[in-house]
Chain A
Amino acid sequence: MSFQHRIRTIYVKELIDILRDRRTLIAMIVVPIVLYPLLMLGSVQVVSLQSQDLQTEVVTLVTTNKQQMNIIKQWLQVDGQIAKWLRGRVGSSLGNGEAQEAQEDTPFEARVIFGEENDLTEDQIRHAIQSREAQLGVVLSVDNLNDHMTEQWRATLYADPEDIRGAVAARRFSRVLHRRDERLRLDRLDELGLSPAVVAPIVWRQERITTAGSILGLILPLILVLMTITGAIYPAIDLTAGERERGTLETLMVCPVAPIDLVVGKFMVVTTIAIMGAALNLGSVSATVYFGGFEAVIGGGSQDQFPLASLPLILLFLIPFAVLMSAIMMAVCCFARTFKEAQNYVTPVILAVLIPGGIAALPTTRLEGVMLVMPVGNMVLLTREMLVGGSVGFGNIAWVLLSTTLYAASAVAVAAKIFGSEAVVFSDSASLKNSLSRKLSRPTSRPTTSMAMLLASILFPIWFYVQSALQGAEDISAVFMGTAQLMPIFLVAVPAGLCWYFKINLRKTFALKTPALRFLAAASMVGIGGCVIVHEFSILQQRIMPIPEAILATDERLGAALAAMSPWMVLLVLAIVPAFCEELFFRGFLLGGLRGSLGKWTSIAVTALIFSAFHYFVYRLPVTAFLGVVLAFFCWQSRSIWPSVLIHVLHNGLTVGIGLWHDKIPWLHLSSSEVTAHYPLSVAIPGALLFVTGIWLAASGRRTET
């Protein structure tokens, strides 16, 4: 039976099984279809109830004495102790301030209390506010009373900003004062025969521009992400811990099907359910907003259309995310023996996921820098940018999808590893602890696929963060030096430490054996000839997917910094250190781990993709991936790291050298203004021949070790 057939069999069965479960249906269909309209209606009700509350809200205003009370009442233009206040247009008559203010305010009533016998002191007023006897205190004083050109009132307002009624009352009273102030000012100017422009050299107004996505764009991505996760939880638990609890796992494991097939089949079901859940949620939210007439409410008062057109695209982008979350949930649930235990494991995972999700949901967070590769966070941001209708760059989309896919692949690898392990099939909680204990680890020759993928996934955002932090350095040479110093730690010391801890053979993992001479010869040819190939490859790519000017400018800045460094230092920092570190990690640790469960070309391809992703540069992705394939191929053929180290040193060294000092090598015919020009045929043809011969030599080389 073919792989696809097995996976399909497992997929169909698990899907039927899970869809027959009432709990799935409730979580997936009933909740989104019923919940959102209810929630939305409910919140609208609450809002309107609250504004009704405000209409009948009575604010108590305290002032010093009866005279002041009368003045205030006069200003508020009301009779009696109850002031119906602040109806009608509020805002500057000159037009300054937010245009938003030109709306009618909710009516608001005030009861004014004052010192009947003696004047109230400032302390007494404060106390009245603190004890909530009153919400607003007003103390007035006046200079030049009754001289209508120089009369000047001073008002001090007392309110607790934490008390919503006090805060609103203070704001509204300020507006009354503001309005009165302006009216009087205009009167005085008029009397003096002056234009209002004398005191208002600048008149401004602020227009609020909202898009339909604004508020929706902040909330909906988080809801979607949460709902995708929620959708994955139940099937993930049911298909792993549930299967174990019901005793069918053992039944399944005695079938002639590899654990990876089972995990992939199950995981596809979890993903399907998660995506279906996300789609239903997205549909339900959109329908509620669209048909429920809440667009205005949610869109912040704007009448713009809800961005219906983005929805299918958002759903499409949610797929890798659903894949990631399903894989994580499955990996976590695989540890659990029972349904309940799995639920306990899932809770902290959701919390952990909500942290980057929450950071991304902040209005100030943007899809850039480390957020591009932050798990979950990048998806929230991408969804938001799509909803708000801003244009999202191709590079950014690529980063989000690429990093999410890498994390998802690692999580699937880990889930497969855990699912097939004896510790999981035969519930023995001690086994799990034992598997992390150094004392009980048995010496092995290479890391497992899941360990390699897991470390790559963990290092991916960390290394990205390190690189971004270094980019911020003032001195550009510090970027290179810093990278060269940190590379051995992250790419060599960390995996080596892991190998030591789990008693994994370092020599075999990092493929440190001496290679046959033919591979070193072949590597020299490929390393030298490869420069020509890569150069032409870059030119071709520049035609299809040109590198933006801004990036080229940065490259030039870096080039200038390099030219100022000593040539030996440049070679050390850009050729030798990266060659050793990257080879040891990618072609050593990673390829060594992948080869355990993947075939030759899959291992090589995955290694190459991850290698190129670690360069965090979308525009060079194809070139680095191509190089990655060549390097991994050499390591696979020779079973040794040294030929690929040699290629890497030669390639980096020559590329940097030619880039920096091409004017000193006239026969290359590359002038500084056209580094992207073709090599002359006298260089290109021998280079290509050298490359092809090297590849052929390596391909025909027999692998000596079995």
Chain B
Amino acid sequence: MSGKDRYNAAQTGMDMVVADNLVKVFPSPDGRGKRAVDGLSFRVGPGKIYGLLGPNGAGKTTTLRLMSGLMSPSSGRAILAGHDVSQEPQEVKQVIGFLTSNTGIYLRLSPRELLFYFARLHGLAEDKVASRVAYLIDWLDITDFADLRGGALSTGQKQKTSIARALVGDPPILIMDEPTLGLDVLSNRVILDFIKRERDEGKTIILSTHYLDEAETMCDVIGLLHDGKLVAEGTLEELRTFSGEQRLSNIFLKVIHADVPRLEKRP
């Protein structure tokens, strides 16, 4: 499917991302298994940012790894742009751009070489590779450091390179796992601006974070994740109405408080 077709599919209004009763059980020494993601379902349409919020260990990262085909679900389905992650993992990887604060870049390759490499891995036709890379370098202001080795780049420059890398296949869906974790204000700004721009271009974005104010300003729909389960979901307005609280942090605490006994069990 070419990029254009994907957007056409997106414009027909179908949900680009569907998680359907996703479950991921990790083996645990007691043999019963740990349910890191426990019956998660949500849908995201094109041009929307879906924010997965939750404390550490809530299952955000696992969910995003399941969505991107890095892990296979124990049960349930994840469907991205019409492809089932379990059935067609390679097709899913074609339609997503994946970015985390951990996704590193190659220290001995320049951003330009790195982008060429990933463009080819994404199956871009050889005549399109150079123009796509040139476009991204220009668009993300990489030109100044495009030919330096990765090891010589600053954190912000590395982050820009990572963004370009995630976008190189022109994916209609972006999956970002705490993309701003540990970044300074400037680098943080680069990421957030980029996410908004992509949303405005009609891309579907799933974002996990535990910076609540970030979620407040960025996300169209927010899903609150706790112990692998979605405890509340909606626009910020809906959540405010539902909980009677204004600030997202208070909403979050209130929703979780509904589940006090379990909270106490947590170490």
Chain A residues with CB under 8 Å of chain B are: 1, 5-6, 9-10, 13, 16-17, 20-21, 246-248, 250-251, 253-258, 422, 425-426, 430-431, 434, 437, 439-440
Give the CA-CA distance A254 to B70 in the complex, in Å: 7
Give the CA-CA distance A425 to B93 in the complex, in Å: 16
What residues of B have a CB within 8 angstroms of the CB of A255 in the complex? 93, 118, 121-122
- B96 at the A interface (CB under 8 A): yes
Give the CA-CA distance A670 to B162 in the complex, in Å: 75
Name 16 interchain pairs, CB-CB below 8 A, sorted by A.
A1-B123, A9-B121, A10-B121, A13-B109, A16-B109, A17-B106, A17-B109, A20-B108, A250-B70, A250-B98, A250-B103, A251-B162, A253-B70, A255-B118, A256-B123, A422-B71
Asked if residues B98 and A254 are in contact (CB atoms below 8 Å), the reply is: yes
Q: Which of B26, B29, B69, B117 contacts A9 (CB 8 A)?
A: B117
Given contacts A253-B70, A254-B70, A256-B91, contact A16 B121 (CB under 8 A): no
Name the prevailing secondary structure of the B interface residues. Answer: loop
Asked if residues B108 and A17 are in contact (CB atoms below 8 Å), the reply is: yes
Q: Which of B100, B104, B149 contacts A246 (CB 8 A)?
A: B104
What residues of A have a CB within 8 angstroms of the CB of B27 in the complex? 430-431, 434, 437, 440
Q: Which of A13, A246, A247, A256 contacts B90 (CB 8 A)?
A: A256
Q: Which residue of A is nearest B123, CB measured? A: A1
Give the CA-CA distance A422 to B36 in the complex, in Å: 14
- B165 at the A interface (CB under 8 A): yes
Separation in Å of the B39 CB from the closest CB of chain A? 19
Separation in Å of the A667 CB from the closest CB of chain B? 58
Q: Which of A16, A425, A440 contacts B31 (CB 8 A)?
A: A440
Asked if residues A426 and B106 are in contact (CB atoms below 8 Å), the reply is: no
Query: In the complex, given contacts A6-B121, A250-B100, what are 10 additional A-B residue pairs having Cβ atoms less than 8 angstroms apart?
Result: A17-B109, A246-B106, A247-B102, A251-B98, A254-B98, A256-B93, A256-B123, A256-B169, A431-B27, A440-B27
- B43 at the A interface (CB under 8 A): no
Give the CA-CA distance A422 to B26 in the complex, in Å: 11
Give the CA-CA distance A434 to B123 in the complex, in Å: 35
| Residues from 220 to 239 in B contacting A, C-beta threshold 8 Å | none
Give the CA-CA distance A251 to B169 in the complex, in Å: 13
What residues of B have a CB within 8 angstroms of the CB of A425 in the complex? 70
Per-position 1/0 for B19-63, Cβ under 8 A of A: 000000011010100000000000000000000000000000000
B interface residue count range (under 10 / 10 to 19 / 20 to 34 / 35 or more)? 35 or more
Give the CA-CA distance A257 to B169 in the complex, in Å: 13
Asked if residues B122 and A247 are in contact (CB atoms below 8 Å), the reply is: no
| Residues from 66 to 117 in B contacting A, C-beta threshold 8 Å | 68-72, 90-91, 93-94, 96, 98, 100, 102-109, 113, 117
Asked if residues B93 and A254 are in contact (CB atoms below 8 Å), the reply is: yes
Separation in Å of the A638 CB from the closest CB of chain B? 27
Give the CA-CA distance A20 to B114 in the complex, in Å: 14
- B65 at the A interface (CB under 8 A): yes
What residues of A have a CB within 8 angstroms of the CB of B109 in the complex? 13, 16-17
What residues of A have a CB within 8 angstroms of the CB of B113 in the complex? 13, 16
Give the CA-CA distance A451 to B26 in the complex, in Å: 22
Q: Which of B29, B69, B104, B117 contacts A254 (CB 8 A)?
A: B69
- B189 at the A interface (CB under 8 A): no
Separation in Å of the B11 CB from the closest CB of chain A? 23
What residues of B have a CB within 8 angstroms of the CB of A430 in the complex? 27, 29
Give the CA-CA distance A254 to B90 in the complex, in Å: 9
Asked if residues A248 and B91 are in contact (CB atoms below 8 Å), the reply is: no
Give the CA-CA distance A425 to B70 in the complex, in Å: 8
Per-position 1/0 for B245-256, Cβ under 8 A of A: 000000000000
**6 nearest CB pairs, A to B:** A247-B104, A256-B93, A254-B98, A440-B27, A20-B108, A1-B123
Separation in Å of the A200 CB from the closest CB of chain B? 76
Asked if residues B117 and A13 are in contact (CB atoms below 8 Å), the reply is: yes
Asked if residues A256 and B102 are in contact (CB atoms below 8 Å), the reply is: no
Asked if residues B70 and A258 are in contact (CB atoms below 8 Å), the reply is: no
Asked if residues A254 and B120 are in contact (CB atoms below 8 Å), the reply is: no
What residues of A have a CB within 8 angstroms of the CB of B117 in the complex? 9, 13
Q: Which residue of B is nearest A10, CB measured? A: B121
What residues of B have a CB within 8 angstroms of the CB of A6 in the complex? 120-121
Q: Which residue of A is nearest B103, CB measured? A: A251
Give the CA-CA distance A409 to B30 in the complex, in Å: 36
